[in-house]
Chains A and B, each alone.
Chain A
Amino acid sequence: MRGYVIKRLAQAVGVLWAAYTVSFLVLDYLPGDPVTAMAGAGMDSGQVDPARLAALRHEYGFDKPVPVQYAEYLGRAVRGDFGDSVSTGRPVTATLADALPQTLQLTGAAMLFAVVLGGGLAVLATYTTLRWLRQLLLSLPPLGVSVPTFWVGLLLVETFSFRLHWFPAFGNDGLGGLVLPALTLAVPTGAQIAQVLAKSLLTALDQAYVETARAKGAGRWRVHLRHALRNASLPALTVVGLLVGQLIAGSVVVETVFSRDGLGRVTAAAVTAQDIPLVQGVVVFGALIFVTTNLVIDLVYPLLDPRIVVASGRRAALA
């Protein structure tokens, strides 16, 4: 078990480092000159003062050779310093930390909705004996992954805010303001969870142990939840881990639709202002969230399914 944990930790750190490198290459070196973009950021005029350019170039270290720059930036990034935002002048880390709580609320609520609605749909669709209900339920997830999120959000606002006045249309106020954005964000995620869970539930229900449980006289509901769902939820758990990054990124669109403050709004503003340090911070942060959730899930997995550690241990013994 210890070997497994150490190996996974090392992998996670490696992926983070590489993600930082990718963002460095894309943002600082793809086309042309980031300094011109930075100096021009927020201004309409095309002309930029050459002295200011040179000063900026020196300040950000772009007058040094690329490997040296990269090493310096990486060294600072390891200590959590991603430089200062070009448009506001505040440190990137502080800007992200301020925006994060709102977005974590949003994505947390969205994940809750997604798991409850998506999971519930899958369980119900596989449990029901009514053919039409099953067909109806199973046709919803493909629909959920095909609709644009921003469109769903706007339709919800249109219906529940402007027509029915149930929830506020925008802003960060309280729980009421959280419902519509979280629901919007939950649609594609919940649909994907439902697809995976329904499929693995159907596979699990075909297994011999389910037959055994039935033969022993367990009720249908009990077989479904206690025996099949437990085993079927493992693939769904993996997918949940993969979807967390998608949820965080989805906040860019949803927070724009609902005019909520948070990481997504900060990101959209940063892209508009070509605020390179801030965008880089967001990209690395996204990778950090993704890597961390998957690390946690990989570490929890052996507790749920002991075969995983046994298998990796056996492979280690052979090597």
Chain B
Amino acid sequence: MSQSLVDDPAEAALDPARAFTAGKDREPGGRVDVRRLARFVVRRPGLLLSVVVLVLVALASFHPEAFTSQDPLKGVPSQNFRGPSGSHWFGTDELGRDVFSRVVHGAQLSLKATLIAVLVAFVVGGLVGVVAGFTGRWVDDVLMRCVDVLLSIPALFLSLALVTALGYGTVKVAVAVGIASVAAFARVARSEVLQVRQAVFVEAARASGARWYSVLARHVLPNAAGPVVVLATLDFGSSILAVSALSFLGYGAPPPALEWGTLISDGRNYLANAWWLTALPGLAIAATVLATNRIARALDGEWSRQP
């Protein structure tokens, strides 16, 4: 049970000292080399595609009207159940509404919920981990036992309990999903802080008379942040899945608000005669999650391993 529950168990089970932490004894020198970044991305077409997908999804959530001129809520009843075509890319639903437009407009709430979930997990989990790792002793013991307990309750059950207590709605679902992944963040943040705390440059800062808070803020946190950021990217993907699962179960925003999970559960009633109502919105979710997971993999290891 003492395994980390980072989303990619392969990393957690086999390689606790990630590639990311390899060169910890020298403080990295800030600036990003743009040419190196460009070369890195161009050599990986899959990664490039992932970045494009994410940018498109982000744009869709801010300016849905840039992608489609059709109204997501008003349909043409005479044109219902049309399959995918040139004028309706994702077909139309039972009321003749354009499904592509509904997916594009649904990006906003789904992405908002995901961002809130990741933020909650990052802030709360990161805080718990940093406090545990930096303080040590009994504080560390108490906090980490709490984290163990959170890990022992299956994430979806924990989210459902929180939804029961908090009620329905996009933000509440997001918070519930975020709390359920606090434990993973706490573990990674703690182990990073523990490692960095023992680095030579931290000892040097201490020895030259720096206060604990300036050691924490200027030396420990910036160097412990890497793996936590990678985890946040991974968590973004799994949060999209968790949020859409909860909204599929009907705990998200009430209609007419558009969410990806709700779109699929609506389309479920017409599975036998209109496959596009479930298949194509699901494709949007899958593509977004695949893209974030690919980017997380690039951040974790590939970047630091390249020549």
Contacts and interface: CB of A to CB of B under 8 A. Distances in A.
Interface of A: 11, 15-16, 18-19, 21-23, 26-27, 30-31, 142-143, 145-151, 154-155, 157-158, 162, 169, 192, 195-196, 198-200, 203, 235, 238-239, 242-243, 245-246, 248-250, 252-253, 256-257, 267-268, 270-272, 274-276, 279-280, 282-283, 286-287, 290-291, 294, 298
B162 A26 contact: yes
Contacts of A155: 278-279, 282
Contact of A283 (B146, B158, B251, B265): B158
Contacts of A242: 3, 5, 9
Contacts of B14: 196, 199-200, 203, 235
A19 to B, nearest CB: 5
A148 B290 contact: no
B285 interface: yes
Contact of A276 (B164, B264, B272): B164
Interface string B124-160: 0000000000000000000001101110111111101
A21 to B, nearest CB: 8
B232 interface: no
B271 A157 contact: yes
Contact of B149 (A19, A146, A162, A298): A19
Interface string B68-99: 00000000000000000000000000000000
Nearest to A143: B290
24 contacts: A15-B152, A27-B161, A27-B165, A31-B166, A142-B293, A148-B244, A148-B248, A148-B282, A151-B286, A154-B268, A158-B272, A158-B279, A162-B271, A195-B8, A203-B14, A235-B13, A238-B13, A245-B153, A252-B160, A253-B248, A268-B249, A270-B164, A283-B161, A286-B157
A43 B272 CA distance: 33
A256 B249 contact: yes
Contact of B245 (A31, A149, A276): A149
Contact residue range for chain B?
35 or more
A280 B272 contact: no
A280 to B, nearest CB: 7
B62 interface: no
Given A148-B241, A155-B279, A253-B245, A272 B250 contact: yes
B9 A290 contact: no
Contacts of A246: 154-156
Interface in B1-45: 1, 3, 5, 7-10, 13-14
A7 to B, nearest CB: 12
Contacts of A267: 157, 160
B248 to A, nearest CB: 5
Which 3 pairs from chain A and chain B are nearest by CB?
Answer: A151-B282, A249-B154, A249-B156
Contacts of B158: 26, 283
A245 B278 contact: no
Nearest to A157: B271
A23 B161 contact: yes
Contacts of A282: 157, 160
B153 A290 contact: yes
A192 B9 CA distance: 7
Given A158-B271, A249-B156, A142 B290 contact: yes
Given A150-B264, A235-B14, A239-B13, 14 more contacts: A15-B1, A151-B286, A154-B264, A154-B268, A200-B14, A245-B157, A256-B248, A267-B160, A268-B249, A271-B164, A271-B251, A274-B164, A283-B153, A283-B160
Interface of B: 1, 3, 5, 7-10, 13-14, 145-146, 148-150, 152-158, 160-166, 237, 241, 244-245, 248-251, 261, 264-265, 268, 271-272, 275, 278-279, 282, 285-286, 289-290, 293-294, 297
B223 to A, nearest CB: 27
Contact of A150 (B245, B251, B290): B245
Given A157-B271, A242-B9, A145 B249 contact: no
A21 B161 CA distance: 13
Contacts of B155: 246, 249
Contacts of A162: 271-272
Nearest to B153: A287
Given A22-B153, A291-B152, A195 B9 contact: yes
A271 B160 contact: yes
A30 B294 CA distance: 37
Contacts of B271: 154, 157-158, 162, 169
A47 to B, nearest CB: 18
Contacts of B5: 242
A271 B160 CA distance: 7
A169 B285 CA distance: 23
A18 B250 CA distance: 29
Given A151-B278, A154-B278, A248-B154, A15 B3 contact: no
B275 A150 contact: no
Contacts of B250: 272
B156 A250 contact: yes
Contacts of B148: 15, 18
A27 B158 CA distance: 10
Contact of B248 (A142, A150, A157, A238): A150
A18 B268 CA distance: 39
Which of A169, A242, A280 has most B Cβ within 10 Å?
A242
B156 A146 contact: no
A16 B155 CA distance: 15
Contact of B165 (A30, A147, A250): A30
B157 A249 contact: yes
A58 to B, nearest CB: 22
